[in-house]
Structure 1
Amino acid sequence: MTLSWLRFQNSNIQEKSRQTTKPLRQISINRRSNRVLYNVTISVDSLKYEEWLLFMREEHIPKIFSSLCFESYRICKILGEEAGGTAVAVQYVAYSTESFEKYNTEFAPRLQAEHQERFGTSAAAYRTTLEIIEEGHLVDDSVE
């Protein structure tokens, strides 16, 4: 490939991009440090999935939030097939490293034991702790 061909290709792509796409929107970036993403990946047996989801919504997550250590959560179904079950990631955002450590020492052992007692091997969990460095989202088009 020659350099002139690459320049032509790049200018051609840029021109097409200008003709067919909307203008780029603003991205709001949040660099609050010290927050923690606590990710719990659970492999739930297909026969127990609905019961497990109800338990999480009505019992487990409210108990986690009563610790006052987390600001938000999300439940995500992991795409793809898993033999005999559904893989789910439950993600909690702790206010700070200190908040997460408090949760992990004062609340997690009891709550994890309750989950294990209720579902055993039909909802096996794996936990990962991540430090949030930066996050962003698109700014609403109506805001200028």
Structure 2
Amino acid sequence: MIIYNVTINIDEKIETEWLHWMRKTHIPEVMNTGKFISCRFSKLTSHKEDGSQNYSAQYVCHSKEDLQDYQDNFAPMLQQKSLEKFADKMLAFRTELDIIEDFYSVLS
């Protein structure tokens, strides 16, 4: 399995609007491509910049082929929508991680 991680730096002036858009529009659109099996959306707490906040959306897919299909056929349009809506108020970078093993802990 693969994690497609998108780290986003967002201007605090539009953070509330952007969060709503991510939850109600963007993440559902990405998930509706059928290429990912889950998404974890997180706020980075260890790194803070004046006037902006960092978030991470981690999408999990079954294979590199699914991710490549997403990047070829869906990502350009979805990324363009983000840029049109938030222009110079956000900056995103993307990384790919191979899941080696999942460890789960159960607290009693």
Is TM more than 0.5 here?
yes
Q: TM-score, normalised by structure 1?
A: 0.71
- Unaligned residue ranges in structure 1 (runs of 5+): 1-34
Partner of 1:81: 48
Does residue 14 of structure 2 align to residue 48 of structure 1? yes
Amino acid aligned to 2:23: R
Post-superposition offset of 1:140: 5.4
Partner of 1:114: 81
Aligned residues: 107
RMSD of Structure 2 on Structure 1 (CA): 1.1
Runs of 4+ in 1 over 2 A off after TM superposition: none
Q: Which has the larger radius of gyration?
A: 1
Tell me, what secondary structure is at the counterpart of 1:138? coil
Q: Deviations over 1:27-65 (max 9, x none)?
A: xxxxxxxx1101111110001101111111111111111
Q: TM-score, normalised by structure 2?
A: 0.93
The more displaced of 48-57 and 76-85 is 76-85
Match of 1:65 among 28, 31, 56: 31
Post-superposition offset of 1:96: 1.5
- Unaligned residue ranges in structure 2 (runs of 5+): none
